[in-house]
Amino acid sequence: MKTKNVWKKIAGMGLVLMLSATALAGCGGAKSEGGTASTGAGAAAGTGTLAKIKERDKFVVGVKYDLNLFGLKDPASGNVEGFDIDIAKAIAKKVLGDENKIELKEVTSKTRIPMLKNGEIDAIIATMTITEDRKKEVDFSDVYFLAGQSLLVKKDSPINGLKDLQKGMKVLTAKGSTSAKNIRASAPDVEVLEFENYAEAFTALKAGQGDALTTDNALLYGMAKQDPNYRVTEETFTEEPYGIAINKGDAEFVKAVNDLLKEMKENGEYDKIYEKWIGEKPKK
């Protein structure tokens, strides 16, 4: 009967599709950046990240892809570069002996803690400010960069600091960042709009959707460098100490990272990285 043949054809096609789908899933999963299957067994407890890294022979770290100077993906070369990446490479070198044994994954202020907790990444090195609240969720290394929150405005903007922010003005930032919390506290009259990441926020600012963008001054300098139509206001109204975030309960790994940071600060490697990206020697 005609229907029987048609049905057989459909079933056959379906089988082929299923097989190719699973095949694709296999290589698609391995190829695409976000596609590696979860390696998070036991990551919740955080024990033995160091052992895991050594076993895998790769240090998987979450970094930003949209912040000039700290973590920026270049669509032309496909590389992600920045201060945070160099720190990550130094860790890979210390633990595995080769700074290239590293896998970078994009994180945003919103996604970084979930990704660390579910084992997708070994550590977060993504302009993450150490706060008491966050300490309840993750463990931090020592401070590896000290920034302060500030404002990014158009070159000819009348805004020079917090005091110039008036009711009715809009300030843009990223969801889940300390900048969002702080600006609401420091300038309660102002409307705060939060976006998925800083790239979106900056695009929105450039489109005129806000009067200022707020986050750490280091990041703002990176943005101003990309687009000279914008400048960073002088005063910083908070202190933002950056730390490397590691899963709770993994004192071994935290100590290893802290030891490395201390070593780098003492042997000048830290200063070199700092100067490379920030353009001046770190203030002691």
Partner 1 sequence: MDFIGAYAPSHLTFLLEGFWLTLQVAFLAIVFSFAIAIVVGVLRYANIPGVSQALATVVELIRNLPLLLIIFFTYFALPEVGIKLDKFYAAVLALVIFEAAMLSEIVRSGLKSVEKGQIEAARSSGLTYVQTLWHIILPQALRRMVPPIVSQFISLLKDTSLAVVIALPELMNHAQIINGRNVNYVIPTFLLVAVMYFVVNYALSIVSKRLENKHA
Partner 2 sequence: MIDFSILFDHWDMYLEGFWNTVQASLLALVGSFVLGTLFAIFRISPIRPLNWIGTAYVEFVRNIPLILVVFLFFVGLPAMGILLAPFVAGTLGLTVYTAAFIAETIRAGILAVPKGQMEAARSSGLTYGQAMRYIILPQAIKVVIPPMGNQFINLVKNSSVLGVIAGLDLMYFGDLISADTFVTFDVYIFVAIFYLILTLPLSMLVSYWERRLAGSR
Interface residue list for partner 1 (CB under 8 A): 3-4, 6-7, 10, 14, 17-18, 21, 24-25, 28-29, 32-38, 40, 43, 65-66, 73, 75-78, 106-108, 111, 114, 117-120, 196-197, 199-200, 202-203, 206-207, 226-227
Interface with partner 2 (CB under 8 A), residue from 78, 158, 188, 208: 208
Q: Which does 3 bind (CB under 5 to 8 A by kind): partner 1, partner 2, none?
A: partner 1
- Residue 76 interacts with, from partner 1, partner 2, none (CB under 5-8 Å by kind): partner 1
Q: Which is nearer to partner 1, 21 or 51 (CB)?
A: 21
Q: Which is nearer to partner 1, 108 or 236 (CB)?
A: 108
Of residues 132-161, those binding partner 2 (CB under 8 A): 133, 136-137
State the nearest-atom distance from the C-beta of 270 to partner 1, in Å: 28
Residues 69-128 that bind partner 2 (CB under 8 A): 109-110, 113-114
Provide, rounded to whole angstroms, the least separation between the CB of residue 61 and partner 1: 15
From the CB of 251, what's the least distance to partner 1, in Å?
23
For partner 1, which is the closer residue by CB, 77 or 100? 77
Tokens of 10: 């459909």
Residues ≥6 apart with Cβ < 8 Å to 152? 202, 205, 212, 213, 214, 215, 220, 223, 224, 230, 231, 232, 233
10/251 with CB nearer partner 1: 10
